[in-house]
Amino acid sequence: MPILITGAASGIGLEFLKRWAPKQICIAVDNVPIPLDWLPEGYEHSVLAYTVDLTSPTAIEKLGQKLKQVSISCIIHSAGIRGLVSSIHQTNPTDVRSAETMESMDAATMTTTFQINALGTFLLVKELFSSLRLALQLGDEVKVVVMSSRMGSISGNNSGGGYAYRASKAALNAIVKSFAVDIPEMTFLMVHPGRVETGLVLAKEQGAMRAEESVSDMIALFDRLSSKDSGRFLDRFGEDIPF
C-alpha cells in the first residue's frame, strides 16, 4: 500500500522518498515542487507528487479529499521549519541561536512555526484519517511517524532559547500523543532524527550528519517497532526521550 511522505522535496523527507520509491508507490508532499530526476528509468509512476501549503487548512483539506479513496498504510511526516527570525538569520546565518532568543523572537515567527509544525501536523493527520482507516480495514498495519526534536522535550530543556521551535515541537508531541491515545488501533511515533544537514538553517551546523545516515538509522528502528510502542518519543536509535 502507498506510503505518504511530507517534506519530500529535500533533506530527510527526500531521502525517505529515494529509499522507498523504487520499492512501492509513494505519495510525496511538500510546499515546493518535488525533484524526481533521480528516479530510475521505468519508475516514473511510482511517485505521486503534490505541492501543498501546510500553513493553509484549505490546501490540506483539498489533499485529503484527493486521497480519500486511497489506502495509506504509513505516513512519514518530516515537513517542518526551524522557527528562526528571518531577518536576523539572514544577516548572521552561522549564529542560529541569535535568531531564536527571547529578545529576537517575534509574533510572526512564532505563529508561522506553530502553523506548520503543530497545527499543520494535526490537520494533515485528521484529513488523511479516512485513508489510514481504509488501509486498516484492508488488514494492513498502520503507522504514523512524525519527525519531532529533542528540543521539544520540556524536561530536557537545560539551555533555554529556541522559543518558536521548542514550543511548536512540544505542542506537536502533545498532539501526536493524543492521537496515540484516541486511535489505539494505529501506531503513532515521535522520532528525533538527530542533528541533520537540511534546509532548516542556512549554514551547516557543527556536528550535523547527512540525511542518509539519519534515515538509515530510522528505517532500522521502524523495523523493530510495533503497535505496543505507539505514543513513544524516541531518538533514531530507539532510546526514549523524556517529554
Residue-level pLDDT at 132:
98
Cell of 14: 527526500
Residue-level pLDDT at 50:
97
- Among residues 177, 214, 221, which one has the least CA distance to residue 195? 214
Angle, nearest 10°, between helix axes 211-224 and 11-20?
A: 60
- Alpha-carbon separation of residue 79 from 11, 12, 95 (angstroms): 10, 9, 23
Look-up: residue for cell 490546501? 59
Gap between the Cα atoms of 190 and 86, Å rounded: 27
Amino acid letter, 62: K
* Domain contains 133: yes
212 close to 15: Cβ distance less than 8 angstroms: yes
88 close to 104: Cβ distance less than 8 angstroms: yes
* Domain contains 118: yes
pLDDT along the chain (243 residues), means of 10: 94 95 93 92 90 95 96 97 89 83 96 96 97 96 97 96 97 98 97 82 67 95 93 97 97
3 close to 70: Cβ distance less than 8 angstroms: no
Residue-level pLDDT at 238:
96
26 close to 48: Cβ distance less than 8 angstroms: yes
Residue-level pLDDT at 44:
81
- The CATH number of the domain where 33 resides is what? 3.40.50.720
148 lies in which domain range? Answer: 3-82+113-235
Hey, how many other C-beta atoms are within 10 angstroms of the C-beta on 233?
A: 21
Cα 32 from chain centroid (whole Å):
15
Amino acid letter, 106: D
Gap between the Cα atoms of 63 and 44, Å rounded: 21
Cell of 64: 485529503
80 close to 176: Cβ distance less than 8 angstroms: no
Residue-level pLDDT at 106:
97
Residue-level pLDDT at 180:
98
Residue-level pLDDT at 204:
59
Quote the number of domains for the chain.
1
Amino acid letter, 37: D
Residue range 58-94, pLDDT digits in tens: 999 999 999 999 999 999 999 999 999 988 888 888 7
Residue-level pLDDT at 42:
82
Gap between the Cα atoms of 193 and 235, Å rounded: 6
* Domain contains 105: no
Q: Residue 152 — φ and ψ, nearest 5°?
A: -85, 0
